[in-house]
Structure 1
Amino acid sequence: MGLFHSTRSSAPTLSSKEAIRRGIAADGGLFVSDELGARRIDIPTLPGKGYLELAREVMGILLPDFTADELAACVEEAYGGTFASDEVTPLVPLTRSPGADGTPAYVLELFGGPTSAFKDVALQMLPRLMARTGADGGSGERIMIVTATSGDTGKAALAGFAGAPGCGITVFYPEGKVSRVQELQMTTQEGSNVAVCGVRGNFDDAQSAVKRIFADEGLAERLRAQGVVLSSANSINVGRLVPQVVYYFAAYAQLLRAGAVEPGDEVEFCVPTGNFGDILAGYYAKRMGLPVSRLIVASDRNNVLCDFLDGGTYDRNRPFYTTSSPSMDILVSSNLERMLYYASDGDCDLVADLMAHLADEGAYKVPAELLARIREDFGCGWADEDQVAAAIRRCWDDNRYVIDPHTACGYHVLGELAPAPGTAARVLLSTASPYKFPRAVAGALGLFCPPDDFAAMKVLEKATGTRAPKQLATLEGRPVLHGDAVDVDGMAAYVEAAASRL
């Protein structure tokens, strides 16, 4: 996809390997390429391609300075036997559509990887890409991955980077604002290159502090003296975003193989989203030729994205709610910046101005014509806590299919919104195993809900005939290896200390 530059400035330009290694641009912007959409995927050929072949093809277009051999090795390492299904992201038909019109609906299961969350699809790949960036020229430069997580990114990144040669990883999570299972997944992580730390604040506090850490020139200079550079595993890193584009094409390929659509038929995707990365990958896929009628943002009670898509004003100055879908409890959706760049035809000055308003005032408003263009591609809806619980119960009653609270937000929204005109099928992206949130799911199904997550898993298994993923069920009793917690203003010092141990 050619050279990359910041969303806020067209210079300097970097290769995709350099962009992945740096993670975020020096001016705080996100890396983009102006060649997105110049090369398109041949849709009629999709049914004959499995996931690994699709990954090589899509990523070869988006990351062109990786050789075919490099990408083939990355794909095999990331997806060869590491996911529960050979499809990697299998498509499951729903017996009954959530919508009243009866348009066929499917669930795209993204949670079959090592940590039972959709982040695995990208974070099994990112360390392999990072290892092949080859930017150190043999100098021995080491990379410290620094990431903030709202629940799932942290463990998926830890699973990908633990023990990775030449890398360390520091993960910050909002203390007390992730599920018990999510917390244990992170705090029990083994690895001499791993640091995990709670933050006294919410995800937005942690994410904003991580961005400040990347912009801290004094810190960067001190780390360079130690032979360490910082990079990111959040979806602000283009190497994290690109692998997610693949599963949109994989979903369409499965629909074609099943005879559910014909080549060219338009499909609508509903995506539970907080940081806008998962749904942005669908936008990339559409620009690469995937027949998408609409991309639907599904939010929880922290519905800042829905308000933006409804009225054009993005305003993070609002109450923050802790919900049963913690990975979506976000008020600053970083990847929206990339969409603004593309929707405005690459207007770096506009994007820089909007982001300055967000930083200084906590809000910005886009021009009416830009909002109209965005709404051609995106729809939206949101669910409160009662609606999430009702959606979990309704999906079980109608389909005998168990969904987690994040997926339930999307299920509710699909039931509320009529399909876009011309939609042949609707696909709901399921972002996490229900067993990551067993008490919330069991409670929604009307089951007696023990206060302990692992007891709740057993109740859920018995009632539904499903099984908890082994990697979750066996967390109980593992020793907690990481018990650190800091205030937001202590995060930079924590990173520096972790880097000194590399």
Structure 2
Amino acid sequence: MRLVGTRDENESVEFSQALLSPSANFGGLYAPKILPKFNLEFFKKALNLSYSDIALEVIKSFEFDVELEIFKDALKSYEKFDDPKCPVNIKKIDENLYINELFHGPTRAFKDMALQPFGVIIDALAKQKNEKYLIMCATSGDTGPATLKAFENSKNVKVVCLYPADGTSEVQRLQMTNVKGKNLKSIGIKGNFDDAQRSLKTLLLDQEFKDSLKENELKLSAANSVNFGRILFQIIYHFYTYIYLLKSGKLKDDESFDIAVPSGNFGNALGAYYAKKMGAKIGDILIVSNENNVLTELFNSGVYDIKDKTLVKTISPAMDILISSNVERLLFSEFGDKKTKLLMENLAKDKFYEIPKIDGFRAKFCTDKECANSIKDMALKGMLIDPHTATTFKFTPAKKPTVLTSTAHWVKFTPSMLEAIKGIKTTNEKEQMMMLASEFNQSVPAEILKLFESEEIHKDIVEISDIKKTILNWIKQ
């Protein structure tokens, strides 16, 4: 299968090319025009398959041009997760209510689910082609650490991570500033995530920048979910969730379940949308926004309007986004390339577009106060949930089987946890993190504790206009 441009479907490329050069014509993305389909016979067979076996079946169905052995090696990266046999942990927490913990990888965020195997594939392709790459990412908190970890000490890939200097949690920031690999670079920017993402997209299309990299024998790619390689692995865990519910007897063959997703850049929700179109019996995809509630407005009214919006900093910072890149792939799937191109041009020019309501989605937004209340309520029941997962409780109680997507370990947001549960400010994050863990009979991952003892290496905080120069200076060292 080839992937096509979301703004020009006459442009088609192999999967490997879309991985290494993710920018499509007219500033679009690459996406599948037709998705593979799975029938009931497959799902019955899948009841006896492991997570990696299910993943491989999903991957094979796309018939991409990357060798199967590379994908098999990529899936071995899950052996580094808490449970080497299964990277996710699905728990029943109430009648009809389940939580899918996607944060059991090395950086304690759901981004590891895609970026760990993605890193293996990119590294293998670069080695095959005898090429070297600069992989760039923009992060609102979790993509950066996961990307840096995925390419740690790679001989074929350098990584630059852009993050808003005042827009991440302290643990997320330390995960980026403490990385030691000589092939890794973190840069704080004076701006928000939308600024970081916009700067990334601009550099991906900047011929002068690419020519400068070429002089240093580097090609340019990206690890954000603008890269379909990320989305592929996000489809899989939603597929697995359906199979898990079937296997455990929570669903019958003719029953569906709903998935609630805390949404920022929309990659996680898009994975659920694709999984549904491929045959997983997902009912509604429940989109939860924080107070930056553009997605709520889109799915409830069909209007994407950021004309008078200013980014609001919330206690769920990975969702502090106004321009959700992966919505473009949804628009392409629903309306085609010509309409998508027009809509995205309207967004760039007028900061506004309007579409018919898309079936299969429901949306709500969650205030910081509501989020904190959910954290406290669950703590009283003996369970710690991070501020992103907490937003999904807007969709409880559930009338039918519903899975809440849990995207990060609570230790990454200790100040918000402390204020929500105990009403106190953080004075010593490490000590108070350990205090909370002890009180709730949990352990703090060793790699998180080490962050507070390590030296910060990457201290650059730059103006947006200086990003390009800063990267090129580092490349030339």
State the TM-score, normalizing by the size of structure 2.
0.96
Q: Report what 1:412 is aligned to.
A: 394
Q: Report what 1:173 is aligned to.
A: 163
Distance 2:315 2:5 in 1: 35
Q: Deviations over 1:159-190 (max 9, x none)?
A: 00121121000001001111111101110011
The number of equivalent residue pairs is 475
- Do 2:189 and 2:462's aligned partners in 1 also have CA atoms closer than 8 Å? yes
Matches within 5 A, 1:331-342: 331-342=322-333
Establish whether residue 259 from structure 1 lines up as the match of residue 234 from structure 2: no
What code does the residue aligned with 1:364 have? Answer: Y
Q: Secondary structure at the match of 1:147?
A: strand
Matches within 5 A, 1:435-474: 435-446=411-422, 448-474=424-450
After TM superposition, the structure 1 stretch with the greater mean CA deviation from structure 2, 242-251 or 452-461, is 452-461
Deviation at 1:410, TM superposition (A): 0.6
5+ residue gaps, structure 2, are none
Q: Report what 1:385 is aligned to.
A: 368
Residues 58 and 147 of structure 1: CA distance in aligned 2, closer, same or farther (over 3 Å) = same
Q: Secondary structure at the match of 1:261?
A: coil
- Do 1:304 and 1:314's aligned partners in 2 also have CA atoms closer than 8 Å? yes
Distance 2:200 2:11 in 1: 23
- Do 1:144 and 1:499's aligned partners in 2 also have CA atoms closer than 8 Å? no
Distance 1:31 1:38 in 2: 20
Distance 1:122 1:159 in 2: 12
- Do 1:43 and 1:263's aligned partners in 2 also have CA atoms closer than 8 Å? no
For residue 343 of structure 1, the aligned residue among 314, 319, 334 is 334
Q: Secondary structure at the match of 1:13?
A: strand
- Do 1:146 and 1:495's aligned partners in 2 also have CA atoms closer than 8 Å? no
Deviation at 1:20, TM superposition (A): 0.5
Q: Report what 2:452 is aligned to.
A: 476
Matches within 5 A, 1:286-305: 286-305=276-295
For residue 237 of structure 2, the aligned residue among 247, 253, 262 is 247
Distance 2:254 2:383 in 1: 29
- Do 1:44 and 1:263's aligned partners in 2 also have CA atoms closer than 8 Å? no
Distance 1:387 1:274 in 2: 18
Deviation at 1:264, TM superposition (A): 3.5
Residues 479 and 84 of structure 1: CA distance in aligned 2, closer, same or farther (over 3 Å) = farther
Residues 198 and 333 of structure 1: CA distance in aligned 2, closer, same or farther (over 3 Å) = same
Residues 40 and 215 of structure 1: CA distance in aligned 2, closer, same or farther (over 3 Å) = farther
Deviation at 1:23, TM superposition (A): 2.1
Establish whether residue 195 from structure 1 lines up as the match of residue 177 from structure 2: no
Establish whether residue 52 from structure 1 lines up as the match of residue 52 from structure 2: yes
For residue 114 of structure 2, the aligned residue among 107, 122, 144 is 122
- Do 1:300 and 1:383's aligned partners in 2 also have CA atoms closer than 8 Å? yes
- Do 1:127 and 1:160's aligned partners in 2 also have CA atoms closer than 8 Å? yes
Establish whether residue 72 from structure 1 lines up as the match of residue 55 from structure 2: no
Q: Report what 1:81 is aligned to.
A: 80
Q: Deviations over 1:122-159 (max 9, x none)?
A: 11011111123358743xx3110111100000000000
CA RMSD of aligned residues (A): 1.7
Distance 1:168 1:261 in 2: 45
Q: Deviations over 1:312-368 (max 9, x none)?
A: 111223021111111000000000000000011xx21111111111111212112x3
Q: Report what 2:19 is aligned to.
A: 20
Establish whether residue 105 from structure 1 lines up as the match of residue 97 from structure 2: yes
Q: Secondary structure at the match of 1:48?
A: coil
What code does the residue aligned with 1:173 have? Answer: Y
- Do 2:418 and 2:426's aligned partners in 1 also have CA atoms closer than 8 Å? no
Establish whether residue 489 from structure 1 lines up as the match of residue 465 from structure 2: yes
- Do 1:18 and 1:135's aligned partners in 2 also have CA atoms closer than 8 Å? no
Distance 1:85 1:268 in 2: 27
For residue 323 of structure 1, the aligned residue among 314, 318, 343 is 314
After TM superposition, the structure 1 stretch with the greater mean CA deviation from structure 2, 491-500 or 175-184, is 491-500
- Do 1:181 and 1:453's aligned partners in 2 also have CA atoms closer than 8 Å? no
What code does the residue aligned with 1:274 have? Answer: G
Q: Report what 1:500 is aligned to.
A: 476
What code does the residue aligned with 2:317 have? Answer: P
Distance 2:415 2:304 in 1: 33
Q: Secondary structure at the match of 1:474?
A: helix
Deviation at 1:218, TM superposition (A): 1.9
Q: Deviations over 1:96-129 (max 9, x none)?
A: 35xxxxxx11000000000000000011011111
Q: Deviations over 1:381-421 (max 9, x none)?
A: 11101100101112233x42210000000113334xx65xx
Distance 1:468 1:335 in 2: 33
Deviation at 1:40, TM superposition (A): 5.7
What code does the residue aligned with 1:329 have? Answer: D
Higher relative contact order (CA 8 A, sep 6+): 1
For residue 396 of structure 1, the aligned residue among 379, 389, 394 is 379
- Do 1:16 and 1:63's aligned partners in 2 also have CA atoms closer than 8 Å? no
- Do 1:20 and 1:238's aligned partners in 2 also have CA atoms closer than 8 Å? yes
- Do 2:36 and 2:61's aligned partners in 1 also have CA atoms closer than 8 Å? no
Q: Secondary structure at the match of 1:297?
A: strand
Distance 1:470 1:316 in 2: 41
Deviation at 1:39, TM superposition (A): 5.6
Matches within 5 A, 1:275-290: 275-290=265-280
Q: Secondary structure at the match of 2:47?
A: helix
Deviation at 1:377, TM superposition (A): 1.4
Q: Report what 2:343 is aligned to.
A: 354
Deviation at 1:447, TM superposition (A): 5.8
Deviation at 1:260, TM superposition (A): 1.3
What code does the residue aligned with 2:338 have? Answer: D
5+ residue gaps, structure 1, are 98-103
Q: Report what 1:101 is aligned to.
A: none
Deviation at 1:448, TM superposition (A): 4.4
Q: Secondary structure at the match of 1:150?
A: coil
